[in-house]
C-alpha cells in the first residue's frame, strides 16, 4: 500500500512512509475484524514482516511512530514473536521519568513552554505512546504481569496529558489514547462492594469529599477550588481506583517573535472613512509558516468577530479553494481549515456586517494554530475601522 498521505507530517519517517501507511491500514482491517487469513491482511502482514526484518538487519532504524504501529499490528495478528521484538526495541528508546514511560520523536518542534504551568505533549507523542500501550494490552493468549507493569507506567504518562474536557491535543491522538485507556481499564477492572473516599483540603478553611463506588464509578464529580493561588492536599481512603485531575486556566501575553506563524490582520478600510465603514468592512489575513519545518500540518484560522458584527457567509464560503479545505461560521467565530501553511504568504479576505450597534468596541483576536502541534500558533488583534480604539468613533 503506497497511495494516500498522512495528515500529520510529524509522524512521517522518510523511507518509512509506505510502511507506516501500510501498518495503519492493516490495524484498521484487523480491528474490523478481518481474519489474518484474509488475502489482503495476509499480504499486508507479509509486507510489514519483511519491512521489520530489513529494519533490523539494515543500518537505518525505523521511525518511533512506525515501530509503535508495527508492534500493535503484530499484536492484533497474534504474531507474539514480532510483537515482543518490536516492543523490546521501543523500550530501548523510551523516555522514563520516575514511574512513567512515554516516547518522543527524535526531532520535534520547539514548544512555547515559557510561562506555561504544565505544557501538554504534542499529538504525535500521545498517539505513538498510546499505540505502544495497545500493543502491550493485546497479548495472546492472555495478559501477564510483564505486560501490565509497563502498561501502568505508560497510562500514568498518557493520563497526565489529558485536558480538562477529557480529550488530548487533537482528534487523532484523542481517539487512539481513549481507546488505549479504555482497554487498560477493562484489563485491570476489579468489581468491589466497598467505596473509595477522596478528601481535598486547602491550607485554609476549604475542605470537601468525594465518594466513588461501583454505582457512580462513571460519574464525573468536580468542585471549584476557591483559593488560587493556594496549597491543597488530597488523600484517598477505602478501596478502588480513582482518577483525580486538577485544571488551571489562565491568560499569558506571548512574545510575537516566538510565533512559528507570521500572522498579519488588516481591515479594509483601515480608517473610519465614510458611512459604510460603520456598518461593513473586510478582514484581510496574511499567513505564512516560519517555524522549524518546511510546512505546518493542517492548520486552523480562528477569527473572532468584533462585538455587534457578523460575517457575510457567502464571502466566507468563497474562501474554499485548493488550499482552504473547509470553512465554518460558529457563534461569533469564523473557522478556516487549511491543508497546510508554507513559507509562501497566503491571503484570505472576507466581509463582515454590523448586526447590532455597539459602543466602545474592543479589539478582537485572530489565532492560527497547527492542528496536530497545538503549541505552534500565532495570535493577532484587529479593531473595527470605526471603533473607539482607533480614535475614529
Give the model confidence (pLDDT) of 89-100 as tens digits: 999 999 999 899
Q: Is 114 inside any structural domain? A: yes
Q: What band does 301 get if pLDDT is binned at 50, 70 and 90?
A: very high
Q: What band does 391 get if pLDDT is binned at 50, 70 and 90?
A: very low
Give the model confidence (pLDDT) of 194-206 as tens digits: 899 999 999 989 9
Strand-strand pairing, 377-382 and 324-330: unpaired
pLDDT at position 49 is: 96
pLDDT at position 3 is: 47
The verdict on 228 and 202 lying in the same domain is yes
Q: What band does 13 get if pLDDT is binned at 50, 70 and 90?
A: very low
Above 50 in pLDDT, residue 352? yes
DSSP string covering 201-232, please? EESSS-EEEEEE-GGGTT--------SSS--E
Above 60 in pLDDT, residue 278? yes
The verdict on 202 and 153 lying in the same domain is no
Q: What band does 253 get if pLDDT is binned at 50, 70 and 90?
A: confident
Above 50 in pLDDT, residue 313? yes
Above 60 in pLDDT, residue 88? yes
Q: Are 284 and 268 in contact (CB under 8 A)?
A: yes
Structural domain boundaries, residue 231? 196-238
- What average pLDDT score do residues 46-57 get? 91
Q: What band does 277 get if pLDDT is binned at 50, 70 and 90?
A: confident
Q: By percentage, how much of the chain surpasses pLDDT 70?
A: 90
The verdict on 29 and 135 lying in the same domain is yes
Q: What backbone phi and psi angles, to 5 degrees, belong to 161?
A: -90, -10
All three cell numbers of 1, joined, read 500500500
Give the model confidence (pLDDT) of 124-149 as tens digits: 899 999 999 999 999 888 888 888 99
Q: Is 1 inside any structural domain? A: no
DSSP string covering 247-263, please? ---------GGG-SEEE
pLDDT at position 392 is: 36
Q: Is 373 inside any structural domain? A: yes
Above 50 in pLDDT, residue 267? yes
Q: Are 247 and 120 in contact (CB under 8 A)?
A: no
Per the structure, how many domains does the chain have? 3
Above 50 in pLDDT, residue 298? yes
- What average pLDDT score do residues 220-229 get? 92
The verdict on 40 and 180 lying in the same domain is yes
CATH at 299: 2.60.40.690
Q: Are 346 and 338 in contact (CB under 8 A)?
A: yes
The verdict on 31 and 176 lying in the same domain is yes
All three cell numbers of 194, joined, read 466497598
DSSP string covering 9-56, please? GGG--GGGHHHHHHHHHHHHHHHTT--TTSHHHHHHHHHHHHHHHHHH
pTM, two decimals, is 0.81
pLDDT at position 90 is: 96
CATH at 52: 1.50.10.20
Q: Are 308 and 358 in contact (CB under 8 A)?
A: yes
pLDDT at position 85 is: 96
pLDDT at position 7 is: 62
pLDDT at position 118 is: 59
Amino acid at each position: 500500500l503506497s497511495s494516500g498521505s498522512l495528515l500529520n507530517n510529524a509522524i512521517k519517517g522518510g523511507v518509512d512512509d509506505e510502511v507506516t501507511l501500510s501498518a495503519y491500514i492493516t490495524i484498521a482491517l484487523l480491528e474490523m475484524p478481518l481474519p489474518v487469513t484474509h488475502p489482503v491482511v495476509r499480504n499486508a502482514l507479509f509486507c510489514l514482516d519483511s519491512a521489520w526484518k530489513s529494519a533490523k538487519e539494515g543500518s537505518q532504524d525505523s521511525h518511533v511512530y512506525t515501530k509503535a504501529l508495527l508492534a500493535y499490528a503484530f499484536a492484533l495478528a497474534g504474531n507474539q514473536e514480532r510483537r515482543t521484538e518490536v516492543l523490546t526495541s521501543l523500550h530501548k528508546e523510551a523516555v522514563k521519568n520516575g514511574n512513567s514511560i512515554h516516547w518522543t520523536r527524535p526531532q520535534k518542534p520547539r514548544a512555547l513552554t515559557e510561562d506555561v504551568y504544565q505544557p501538554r505533549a504534542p499529538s504525535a507523542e500521545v498517539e505513538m505512546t498510546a499505540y505502544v500501550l495497545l500493543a502491550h494490552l493485546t497479548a495472546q493468549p492472555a495478559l501477564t504481569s510483564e505486560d501490565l507493569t509497563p502498561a501502568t507506567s505508560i497510562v500514568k504518562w498518557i493520563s497526565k496529558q489529558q485536558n480538562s474536557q477529557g480529550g488530548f491535543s487533537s482528534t487523532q491522538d484523542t481517539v487512539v489514547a481513549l481507546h488505549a485507556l479504555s482497554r487498560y481499564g477493562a484489563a485491570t477492572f476489579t468489581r468491589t462492594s466497598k467505596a473509595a473516599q477522596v478528601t481535598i483540603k486547602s491550607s485554609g478553611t476549604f475542605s470537601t469529599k468525594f465518594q466513588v463506588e461501583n454505582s457512580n464509578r462513571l460519574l464525573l464529580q468536580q468542585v471549584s477550588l476557591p483559593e488560587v493561588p493556594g496549597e491543597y492536599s488530597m488523600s484517598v481512603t477505602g478501596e478502588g481506583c480513582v482518577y483525580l485531575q486538577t485544571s488551571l486556566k489562565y491568560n499569558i501575553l506571548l512574545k510575537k517573535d516566538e510565533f512559528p506563524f507570521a500572522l498579519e490582520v488588516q481591515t479594509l478600510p483601515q480608517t473610519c472613512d465614510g458611512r459604510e465603514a460603520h456598518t461593513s468592512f473586510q478582514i484581510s489575513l496574511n499567513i505564512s509558516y516560519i517555524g522549524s519545518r518546511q510546512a505546518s500540518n493542517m492548520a486552523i484560522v480562528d477569527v473572532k468577530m468584533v462585538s455587534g458584527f457578523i460575517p457575510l457567509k457567502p464571502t466566507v464560503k468563497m474562501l474554499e479553494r485548493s488550499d482552504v479545505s473547509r470553512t465554518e461560521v460558529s457563534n461569533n467565530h469564523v473557522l478556516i481549515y487549511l491543508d497546510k501553511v508554507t513559507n509562501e504568504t497566503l491571503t484570505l479576505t472576507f466581509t463582515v456586517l454590523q448586526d447590532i450597534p455597539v459602543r466602545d468596541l474592543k479589539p478582537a483576536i485572530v489565532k492560527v494554530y497547527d492542528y496536530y502541534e497545538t503549541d505552534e500558533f500565532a495570535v493577532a488583534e484587529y479593531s473595527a475601522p470605526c471603533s473607539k480604539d482607533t480614535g475614529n468613533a
